[in-house]
Each structure stands twice: as C-alpha cells, then as structure tokens.
Amino acid sequence: MATQRREMAPDALTAFMAFNRAVFADGALPVKTKELIAVAVAHVTQCPYCIRGHTAGALKQGATQQEIMEAIWVAAEMRAGAAYAHSALAIDEMNRRAASQEAHRDEHR
C-alpha cells in the first residue's frame, strides 16, 4: 500500500513526510513530549495505527509506561470534559424549546 500511495500522489506524500519530520523534530518541545502529545491525540482521534506508532515512538524517546498512561488519561479527561462542556448546548436547546412552548401556550389562553 505504501508503494501505491507514493505512486498515486508522490508530491503530496513527499510534502507530508517533510511536514511530519518538521513537526516531530526537537524544538521548543522535546521529541519525547511531542510523542506523548501524539499518543494522547491518537486516543482522542481513535486511530489504532497512530496509537501503536506513537506509543512506540514515545518509548523509543525514553517515555515510561507511567508517562504514556498518564497522557492517555489526560486524553480521556479531555474527551469526557468536552462532552460535559457541550451539554450546555443541549441545555440551551431544551430551555429555548421550553420557552417557545410556554410562549405558544400563552398565545392560546
């Protein structure tokens, strides 16, 4: 498959690989930290290939099993926290509908 991807869009693949190298290069954040972030994001996006690849990358960069698991827990909290935060949209909609129904009832009294 890698050969097919390269044959079908070689310029895009070359650009993507350059982007990948630039993003995961040592910089303001060390590579280990970037790999831990990638492990967390991979769990949120639920990409099994990214989970495996970035877990291996984090281990290669010296991350401990505890650090990796902690990154995963951060991802889990962020995912759960987003569901909790977005409940405000459901509450707003419920309140809007209730107010609309009440106004409609008042019109017919």
Please calculate the CA angle 17-54-85 and round it to the nearest 5 degrees.
Answer: 105
pLDDT in tens, 71-95: 999 999 999 999 999 999 999 999 9
Mean pLDDT to the nearest integer, 88-106: 93
* DSSP conformational letter for 46: T
pLDDT tens for each residue of 12-50:
999 999 999 999 999 999 999 999 999 999 999 999 999
Q: Say how many CA atoms lie within 13 Å of 29 toward its Cβ.
A: 12
Q: How many CB atoms sit inside 10 A of residue 60's CB?
A: 11
pTM: 0.81
